[in-house]
Amino acid sequence: MNLRNPTYICLDIPEPFRTKVREVREAFCDRLTNFPIEITIAGSSGIGAIAGDAEWATVETRLLAVCSKTAPIVARFGGVVRFPGTDTFVLSMGDPMPFVTIHERLKHSGIPFEPSNFPFFPHCSLRMSGELSPADISRLFSLRIEGEFEIDLLALQARDDATGRVGRVWEHRLTGRPM
């Protein structure tokens, strides 16, 4: 497989939470309706996307090693956060530490990554760009998606140059034992 740049490492949000996030996106942001509903672990913050010139066989071996050390994550969403100086709104994670742990494993795995300008902040994107009314901003900040869910799938996501859509190019289950 040839890696396309950028190729992000993500954790899938399972149903019914995926549908709930999709409904919020559809209500507030046309731009994200074609993007996967996930938590980006490498690509948009902390470590950047996988380097475009990385050798796939090496990357895959190292990804499989991280998956074998990482147990499925029991998670819940926290509150809505607005990135400073932007109209980007995201759902934070109730406990960010499992996501920080897998981010650090990837960072030290030997996979080459592009640089990133932003510190790692685990989140699920809700809305990007465009102006909002004060009422919509208030609605977003008051939004809560309650309940626990298990994340057990790590996936690589990349943009298809021909269609512009972002889609999965590789996936593997998290198979480590809980600590």
Q: What is the CATH number of the domain that holds 159?
A: 3.90.1140.10
pLDDT in tens, 61-105: 999 999 999 999 999 999 999 998 888 899 999 999 999 999 999
Domain-embedded: residue 73: yes
In order of 59, 149, 157, the CA distances from 35 in angstroms are 23, 20, 10
Domain-embedded: residue 1: no
pTM for the complete prediction?
Answer: 0.92
Domain-embedded: residue 150: yes
Please count the structural domains in the chain: 1
Q: What integer is the mean pLDDT of 49-55? A: 92
Residue 53 CA to residue 30 CA, distance in Å, equals 32
Segments forming the whole domain that contains residue 130: 7-173
